[in-house]
Amino acid sequence: MPSSSSTISQADLVVVANRLPVDRTVDDAGTTHWQTSPGGLVTALEPVMRKNAGAWIGWHGADDDVDPFEHEGLSLVPVPLSVQEVEEYYEGFSNSTLWPLYHDVIAAPKFHREWWDAYVAVNRRFADRAVEVAAEGAVVWIQDYQLQLVPQMLREQRPDLRIGFFLHIPFPPAELFNQIPWRRQLLEGLLGADLVGFQLPGAATNFVRLIRSRVGHRTTRNTIHLPDGRNVDTRAFPISIDSAGLEEMAREPETQQRAREIRDNLGNPKTLLLGVDRLDYTKGITQRLRAFGELVADGAVDADEVMFVQVATPSRERVEQYRVLRDDIDRLVGRVNGDLGHIGRQPITYLHTSYPRTEMAALFRAADVMVVTPLRDGMNLVAKEYVACKYDDKGALVLSEFAGASAELKQAFHVNPYDINGLKSTLLAAMRADSRDLSRRMRAMRRQVSEHDIAKWASDFLSELRRTA
């Protein structure tokens, strides 16, 4: 049981994110348990949070009021959301308006005024919690597209705070952003921060340009000068992973044993291709499976020697576009396997499930070619995770040029996922590359990922935020 009290002591560092980093379960005896949900952000922030008496504000996954509590040394402050708010603020405005719009309008964004109203109301609830929890002069770090109004709402009540905001997804150019009926409010919301961080420099440029054209503030390079004399800085902070921790897991004898088992269970293919994603239309899953299916159909690859394993975590299943995508992929996999497989051999193994970290590490160890082909992605951590696990410098990474990670992982086999022929030839090139070429590429990428890990990301952001004070 967590120790719980409604009067949590005030914190010098406050993280505000849509979700708390824990999941609640209730056992047969009716006792509540909280389990840390493994995620990059918790790993990154845990050490800093402990050192700074930090608190984390987020939704706990339900609509009941839960008092703040301590869990494994972290102070957690739950925010309730009603069923209707989940529909309108989360599935609606966050994931059916902002998500598709910020990802190049791959799916059509929907605009509903009641969703916007719910977005404002929920952002206010998060901001109000932060007002209560933050100590005098504290640093508050707000995360992601669900909470873009929180910086300004917070500053209005607490001008003493240092406020940072980080956007995990792309920030679109004006041509797309301007579709949003509430564009001005979103921009003003973000301007409440002292530092607005993005994955890539291009996103910061998009933001600064929009501020100049829409809001009319003066800007110099990456700084926005507000009429009241305050400055807002913007910069790229490419997010990363716990590289050393993951490599350590990959080196465990059990992980290696499990990687061998995976290959055995698949009938020991000569080449194993792997895709791992949240089931999302931004990830280009259809494109990559279609390209692979064509390679098998053309006879360019032999289905007895080459296999594709696609793992897709169930995601946002109550949103219509995600249900349609799931059906599309089911159909595509069925067609490829039905047309091109034979008894005991299917070209694609498709797993619609989520796995523990150790199983993911084993899959990365087992794969010869990692296929990461998003149509647009803020960063894409899977690409970095694969690289971190390949400590023997073996394996090839096929990486979309539309993933933020492609700016750092320059030695990957880069590809435009919209170009199916290009995708086919790049998959072949990765499968056929000689081992010296592969190890040269992998070594360089591994250096990048180990020198720029998640701890560095967090400390870069926080020191920049404190520096701009």
- What is the contact mask toward ligand ADQ in residues 38 to 77, using x (rule: CB under 6 A)? --x-------------------------------------
**Residue pointed to by tokens 């792309």:** 170
Binding residue for ligand ADQ (CB under 6 A) from 133, 381, 412, 458?
A: 381
- Helix residue ranges, H only, 182-319: 183-190, 201-210, 243-251, 253-265, 285-298
Nearer to ligand ADQ, 138 or 167 (CB): 167
Binding residue for ligand ADQ (CB under 6 A) from 140, 239, 325, 362?
A: 239
- Stretch near ligand ADQ under the rule CB under 6 A, chosen from 20-28, 64-72, 249-257, 380-388: 380-388
The H or E element spanning position 312 is: strand 306-313
Nearer to ligand ADQ, 278 or 345 (CB): 278
Backbone φ/ψ region at 223: left (φ over 0), alpha (ψ -120 to 50), beta: beta
Binding residue for ligand ADQ (CB under 6 A) from 249, 301, 361, 382?
A: 382
Backbone φ/ψ region at 99: left (φ over 0), alpha (ψ -120 to 50), beta: alpha
Tell me how far, at minimum, the Cβ of 53 lies from ligand ADQ, in Å.
25
Tell me how far, at minimum, the Cβ of 114 lies from ligand ADQ, in Å.
26
Q: Give counts: helices (H), strands (E), the chain.
A: 17, 19
CB 363 within 8 A of CB 311: yes
User: CA 231 to CA 226: how far, in whole Å?
Assistant: 6
Give the 3-state secondary structure of residue 83: helix
CB 53 within 8 A of CB 12: yes
Instruction: Give the distance from CA 439 to its chain's centroid.
Output: 27
Nearer to ligand ADQ, 278 or 326 (CB): 278
Q: Does 360 bind ligand ADQ (CB under 6 A)?
A: yes
**Residue pointed to by tokens 């709402």:** 153
Give the 3-state secondary structure of residue 172: coil
User: CA 31 to CA 142: how far, in whole Å?
Assistant: 32
Q: Does 168 bind ligand ADQ (CB under 6 A)?
A: yes
Nearer to ligand ADQ, 303 or 360 (CB): 360
Binding residue for ligand ADQ (CB under 6 A) from 380, 400, 426, 448?
A: 380
Tell me how far, at minimum, the Cβ of 313 lies from ligand ADQ, in Å.
4
Q: Does 375 bind ligand ADQ (CB under 6 A)?
A: no
Q: Does 408 bind ligand ADQ (CB under 6 A)?
A: no
Nearer to ligand ADQ, 126 or 237 (CB): 237
- What is the contact mask toward ligand ADQ in residues 257 to 286, using x (rule: CB under 6 A)? -------------------xxx--------
CB 307 within 8 A of CB 266: yes
Binding residue for ligand ADQ (CB under 6 A) from 377, 396, 454, 455?
A: 377
Q: Which residues of 385-410 are buried (b: 16+ CB within 10 A; e: fewer)?
A: bbbbbbbebebbbbbbebbbbbebbe
Binding residue for ligand ADQ (CB under 6 A) from 169, 259, 367, 371?
A: 169
Nearer to ligand ADQ, 74 or 276 (CB): 276
- Stretch near ligand ADQ under the rule CB under 6 A, chosen from 87-95, 297-305, 323-331, 377-385: 377-385
Tell me which DSSP letter residue 10 carries.
P
User: CA 341 to CA 325: how far, in whole Å?
Assistant: 23
Name the site residues for ligand ADQ (rule: CB under 6 A).
Answer: 40, 168-169, 239, 276-278, 311, 313, 354-355, 360, 377-382, 385
